[in-house]
C-alpha cells in the first residue's frame, strides 16, 4: 500500500511470532496501534483461555477479592495483560511452561519493565499454583495490594492546654 508500512514493534511477543496484538502500522512516520487487531486479539484470548485462566477468573470476577473489580485480557499500551485491577494498577499474569523458554523470559522481562515504569504492579503466578493452591494465590493477590497509609491519630492540644497534660 502507498505510504503504509506495516512493521512489528521491537517488543513483539515471541509467543505469537510477532503477530496479532503487537503489530504496529506506520503511516507517514507515525506509529499507530492496530486497535482493531488488539480488540480481535483480546476477544480471541477470552474465548480461548487456559484452564488456569478460567479458574482464576472465576475467583476474581464479581469483586470476590477485597471487593476489587478485575478485568481479563485488558489492553495496556501495546500489551494485553491477563488480569487487571484499575483501582490499584495491579496486573496479574499467569505463566505456563512456555514462559520458561529463554526468548519468552527475555520478552516477559522487557514487558514487565515497561509496565512497571508506567506505574503498574505486575504479579506473576504459575499456572500450577492456581490449580493446586488457589487459596494461597488469593492471599498473594491480597498481599500484593498497597497498604493504605494510616495517619496516626494525634489530636492537637485543646485550646489553653499545653502538650503532655
Residue 78 forms part of a structural domain: yes
- Asked if the model's pLDDT at residue 153 lies above 50, the reply is no
Residue 150 forms part of a structural domain: no
Residue 138 forms part of a structural domain: yes
Residue 87 forms part of a structural domain: yes
- What is the mean predicted confidence (pLDDT) over 14-41? 47
pLDDT digits (tens, 9 = 90+) for 89-141: 999 999 887 767 788 889 889 999 999 999 999 999 999 999 999 999 999 99
Domain encompassing residue 131? 4-144
CATH code of 137's domain: 3.40.960.10
Residue 48 forms part of a structural domain: yes
Rounded Cα gap, residues 144 and 42, in angstroms: 25
Q: Give residue 79's pLDDT.
A: 86
Residue 155 forms part of a structural domain: no
- pTM for the whole structure: 0.66
DSSP assignment of the chain: -TTEEEEE-TT--TTTTT-GGGEEEEETTEEEE-HHHHHHHHHHHHHT--HHHHHHHHHHTTTTTTT---EEEEEETTEEEEEEETTTTEEEEEE-GGGGSHHHHHHHHHHHHHHHHTT-EEEEEEHHHHHH-HHHHHHHHHHHSPPPPPPP--PPPPTTPPTT-
- Structural domain count, the chain: 1
Q: Give residue 91's pLDDT.
A: 96
pLDDT digits (tens, 9 = 90+) for 30-77: 344 455 566 777 776 667 788 999 999 999 999 999 999 999 989 888
Burial pattern 76-96, b for ≥16 Cβ within 10 A else e, equals eebbbbbbbbeeebbbbbbbe
Residue 157 forms part of a structural domain: no
- Asked if the model's pLDDT at residue 142 lies above 60, the reply is yes
Amino acid at each position: 500500500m502507498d505510504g503504509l508500512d506495516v512493521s512489528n514493534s521491537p517488543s513483539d511477543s515471541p509467543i505469537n511470532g510477532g503477530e496479532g496484538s503487537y503489530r504496529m502500522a506506520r503511516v507517514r512516520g507515525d506509529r499507530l496501534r492496530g486497535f482493531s487487531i488488539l480488540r480481535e486479539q483480546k476477544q480471541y484470548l477470552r474465548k480461548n483461555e487456559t484452564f488456569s485462566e478460567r479458574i482464576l477468573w472465576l475467583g476474581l470476577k464479581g469483586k470476590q477479592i477485597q471487593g476489587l473489580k478485575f478485568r481479563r485480557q485488558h489492553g495496556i499500551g501495546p500489551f494485553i495483560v491477563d488480569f487487571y485491577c484499575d483501582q490499584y494498577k495491579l496486573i496479574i499474569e499467569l505463566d505456563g511452561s512456555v514462559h520458561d523458554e529463554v526468548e519468552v523470559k527475555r520478552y516477559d522481562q522487557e514487558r514487565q519493565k515497561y509496565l512497571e515504569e508506567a506505574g503498574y504492579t505486575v504479579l506473576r503466578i504459575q499456572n500450577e499454583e492456581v490449580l493446586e493452591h488457589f487459596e494461597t494465590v488469593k492471599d498473594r493477590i491480597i498481599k500484593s495490594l498497597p497498604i493504605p497509609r494510616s495517619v496516626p491519630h494525634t489530636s492537637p492540644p485543646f485550646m489553653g492546654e499545653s502538650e503532655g497534660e
